[in-house]
């Protein structure tokens, strides 16, 4: 199986509304190839909403409105004639809670995206093994591929979900608090997987764990929503700078646990 080369993703003046409520304002960020970008900030400031705009998943929410552009290698994913299903294949997503298909085996879960999208693969067994290896779970499940996915632990289920996304050969992987429901050991394995995957793709992760952001992210964006104002980016830069040399006092207060 050929592994995607990483792609650069860029948002330009992204705005989001839910009905009349303006929830995200003028977010312009660049996500370079082969890097991990962390999105941090208090709950309710628009991080996960912004993440969903990056592969058009916010469109699935009734009443959601969008303004701005999101470019993948220079092409606007919101352009005329662009199929959002194709966008979601190129820009995969892993959610906060593991969500394997409960009635499917481990093997079938890995292949489920291909079947749902009607895509073909030359060697399904090779694809399953490659995807599970890239998700750092092959050695744990290689002798039980026919077992139900729900027979796995929570951390294993999350890595299975990562493998399911990787089987689609995405160029970008979005991760919405992928470790929030996991124990420290499982969290460490997921973080190691993120760092390894960034060698071949662009990764954007929402996290409330400041230590996690420092461990895995090359760059970090701090989001904030205050006094009825929509969520926006206060500061964006190299992770080391955001945590050790923040320019904005609000960033300094947040990363040092003074609010949020």
206 vs 197: CA distance, rounded Å? 16
18 vs 117: CA distance, rounded Å? 28
Give the model's pLDDT for residue 134: 95
Give the model's pLDDT for residue 227: 82
Residue pair 94/165 in contact by the 8 Å Cβ criterion: yes
pLDDT of residue 54 exceeding 50, the answer is yes
- Both tokens of 179, joined, read 């470790």
Element (H or E) spanning 37, and its range?
A: strand 36-40
Query: Tokens 């995200």 correspond to what residue?
Result: 24
Q: Tell me the Cα Rg of the chain.
A: 18
Confidence of residue 119 (pLDDT cuts 50, 70, 90): confident
Of the candidates 220, 182, 212, 168, the residue with the CA atom closest to the CA atom of residue 95: 182
Residue pair 173/8 in contact by the 8 Å Cβ criterion: no
pLDDT of residue 123 exceeding 80, the answer is yes
43 exposure class (CB count in 10 Å sphere: 0-12, 13-18, 19+): exposed
Instruction: Give the single-character DSSP code of 45.
Output: S
Go through the domains of the chain in sequence order and give each one's CATH number.
9-255 (3.40.50.300)
SS3 per residue for 77-136:
CCCCCCCHHHHHHHEEEECCCCCCCCCCEHHHHHHHHHHHHCCCCCCHHHHHHHHHHHCC
Give the model's pLDDT for residue 30: 96
Of the candidates 204, 179, 177, the residue with the CA atom closest to the CA atom of residue 190: 179
SS3 61: coil
SS3 133: helix
Element (H or E) spanning 85, and its range?
A: helix 84-90
Query: pLDDT digits over 201-253, tens only?
Result: 999 999 999 999 999 999 999 999 988 899 999 999 999 999 999 999 999 99
Give the model's pLDDT for residue 4: 44
pLDDT of residue 18 exceeding 90, the answer is yes
Query: pLDDT digits over 160-213, tens only?
Result: 999 999 999 999 999 999 999 899 999 999 999 999 999 999 999 999 999 999
Instruction: Give the single-character DSSP code of 44.
Output: T
95 vs 87: CA distance, rounded Å? 17
Give the model's pLDDT for residue 228: 82
31 vs 162: CA distance, rounded Å? 20
In percent, the amount of the chain with pLDDT more than 70 equals 97
Count CB atoms within 10 A of the CB of residue 78.
17
Task: Work out whether strand 21-31 and strand 219-224 pair parallel, antiparallel, or are unpaired.
Answer: unpaired
Angle 158-59-24 (CA atoms, 0-180°, nearest 5)?
Answer: 90
Cα dihedral 224→180→147→3 (10° resolution): 50
Task: Work out whether strand 9-18 and strand 21-31 pair parallel, antiparallel, or are unpaired.
Answer: antiparallel
Give the model's pLDDT for residue 116: 80
């Amino acid at each position: 199986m050929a592994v995607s080369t990483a792609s650069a993703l860029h948002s330009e003046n992204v705005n989001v509304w839910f009905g009349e409520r303006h929830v995200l304002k003028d977010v312009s960020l660049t996500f370079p190839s082969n890097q991990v970008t962390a999105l941090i900030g208090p709950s309710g400031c628009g991080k996960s909403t912004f993440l969903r705009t990056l592969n058009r998943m916010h469109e699935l929410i009734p009443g959601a409105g969008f303004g701005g552009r999101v470019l993948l290698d220079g092409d606007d994913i919101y352009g005329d004639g662009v199929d959002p299903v194709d966008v979601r294949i190129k820009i995969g997503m892993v959610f906060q809670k593991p969500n394997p298909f409960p009635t499917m085996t481990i093997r079938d879960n890995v292949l489920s995206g291909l079947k749902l999208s009607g895509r073909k693969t030359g060697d399904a067994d090779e694809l399953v093994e490659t995807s599970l290896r890239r998700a750092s779970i092959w050695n744990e499940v290689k002798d039980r591929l026919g077992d139900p996915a729900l027979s796995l632990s929570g951390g294993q289920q999350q890595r299975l979900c990562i493998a399911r996304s990787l089987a689609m050969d995405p160029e970008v992987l979005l991760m919405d608090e992928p470790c929030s429901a996991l124990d420290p050991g499982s969290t460490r394995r997921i973080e190691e997987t993120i760092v390894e995957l960034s060698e071949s793709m662009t990764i954007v992760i929402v996290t409330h764990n400041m230590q996690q952001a420092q461990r895995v992210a090359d760059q970090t964006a701090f989001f904030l929503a205050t006094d009825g104002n929509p969520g926006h980016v206060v500061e964006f830069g190299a992770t080391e700078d955001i945590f050790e040399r923040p320019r904005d006092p609000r960033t300094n207060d947040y990363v040092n646990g003074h609010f949020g």
